[in-house]
């Protein structure tokens, strides 16, 4: 799996250990990921609360706030991102390992940590976090009506299937029901009835919901201006796009981006 750029936070109160871990990860990352460090739990919390961290790599035993406390923090729900967690311990204690499992920690490593074991754990943890992020994104942008339509799509006729394929490939462009009907060599009125019968919604509603779903993905995954997102989702007017978006989502595109 190709992992996009991530933020990794290393937390250890021992300077030599912290610097050693950072050096290994920086050499492995080669600039792909941003490596941050913190020398105590309070500093780690400040970073976790203020910027998205994708992987938390922490020593278990630290003064005041331990790695276990960071992993089980009740404030996690308010963090910009829910990171995967790797805990490192100098003690092979069953209670630590058991608690780490209860907290959903991705990996539990014992010191001294070899380069091979560390990098294997980090790569696996980042894959886990990426999969979780993608599932979270799907849940955020999922349209229940489109999910139902996807079930209907499994049994549609060849002309409707061809139309759906054409629509998905040209979603960034404006098109009408008549133009799609011509592409599949059907009368427009007949195609309209056939589409609704087989997909469980009208042609125009399906197109609108698909365009909005594409727009929501771009709002959450990119920093593109709303006007450009509107254009890429097939809307010629950003003002009209915002109007339709609010009708369906109950909020403006800008508010959706900042609140989700």
Q: Of the residues 100, 118, 139, which one is the last residue of a structural domain? A: 139
Residue 2 lies in a domain: no
Q: Looking at the structure, do residues 219 and 116 belong to the same domain, yes or no?
A: no
84 beta partners? 55
Q: In CATH, what number is assigned to the domain containing residue 61? A: 3.40.50.2300
Q: Are 96 and 110 in contact (CB under 8 A)?
A: no
Q: What is the pTM of this model?
A: 0.55
Biggest CA pair distance of the chain? 75
Q: Note down pLDDT in tens along the chain; length 260 residues.
A: 556 789 999 999 999 999 999 999 999 999 999 999 999 999 999 999 999 899 999 998 898 888 888 888 766 667 878 888 999 887 766 676 667 766 778 888 888 889 999 999 999 999 888 877 776 666 667 788 887 888 888 889 999 999 999 999 999 999 999 999 999 999 999 999 999 999 999 999 999 999 999 999 889 878 899 999 999 999 999 999 999 999 999 999 999 988 76
Residues 153 and 237 in one domain: yes
Q: What integer pLDDT is reported at residue 25 of this predicted model?
A: 96
Same domain, 114 and 153: no
What pLDDT does residue 74 have? 63
Q: Are residues 148 and 123 in the same domain?
A: no
Query: In degrees rounded to 5, what are phi and psi of residue 118?
Result: -65, -50
The predicted structure's pLDDT at residue 187: 97
Last residue of one domain, picked from the residues 92, 122, 139: 139
For residues 122 and 98, membership in a common domain is answered with yes
Q: Among all chains, which residue has been given the structure tokens 């369906």?
A: 248
Judgement on whether residues 60 and 135 belong to the same structural domain of the protein: yes
CATH number of the domain enclosing 211: 1.10.10.60
Tell me, yes or no, whether 1 lies in a domain. Answer: no
93 lies in the same domain as 191: no
Q: How much is the pLDDT for 175?
A: 96
Assess if residue 96 is contained within a domain: yes
- Give the end of a domain, one of 139, 171, 188: 139
183 and 130 within one domain: no
Question: What is the model's pLDDT at position 3?
Answer: 67
Residues spanned by the domain of 111: 7-139
Domain count across the chain:
2
pLDDT of residue 100: 72
DSSP per-residue letters across 68-118: HHHHT-GGGGGSSS--EEEEEESS--HHHHHHHHHTT-SEEEESSPPHHHH
- Give the three-state DSSP class for 171: coil
Within a domain: 131: yes
Residues in CB range of 162: below 8 A, 6 or more apart: 183, 184
Pair 74, 172 in one domain:
no
Please check whether residues 134 and 26 belong to one and the same domain.
yes
The two structure tokens encoding residue 130 = 């990426």
């Amino acid at each position: 799996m190709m992992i996009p750029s991530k933020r990794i936070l290393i937390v250890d109160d021992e300077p030599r250990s912290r610097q050693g871990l950072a050096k290994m990860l920086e050499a492995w990352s080669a600039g792909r990921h941003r490596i941050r460090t913190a020398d105590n739990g309070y500093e780690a919390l400040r970073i976790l609360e203020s910027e998205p961290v994708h992987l938390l790599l922490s020593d278990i035993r630290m003064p005041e706030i331990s790695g276990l406390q960071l992993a089980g923090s009740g404030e996690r729900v308010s963090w910009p991102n829910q990171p995967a967690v790797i805990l490192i311990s100098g003690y092979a204690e069953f209670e630590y390992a058991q608690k780490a499992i209860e907290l959903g920690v991705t990996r539990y490593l014992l010191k001294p940590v070899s380069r091979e074991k560390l990098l294997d754990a980090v790569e696996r943890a980042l894959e886990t976090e990426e999969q979780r992020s993608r599932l979270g994104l799907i849940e955020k942008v999922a349209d229940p009506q489109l999910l139902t339509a996807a079930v209907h799509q499994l049994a549609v006729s060849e002309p409707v299937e061809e139309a759906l394929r054409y629509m998905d490939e040209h979603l960034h462009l404006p098109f009408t029901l008549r133009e799609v009907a011509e592409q599949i060599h059907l009368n427009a009125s007949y195609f309209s009835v056939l589409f609704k019968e087989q997909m469980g919604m009208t042609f125009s509603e399906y197109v609108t919901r698909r365009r909005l779903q594409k727009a929501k993905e771009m709002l959450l995954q990119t920093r593109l201006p709303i006007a450009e997102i509107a254009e890429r989702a097939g809307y010629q007017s950003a003002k009209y796009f915002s109007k339709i978006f609010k009708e369906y989502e109950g909020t403006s595109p800008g508010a959706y981006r900042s609140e989700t």
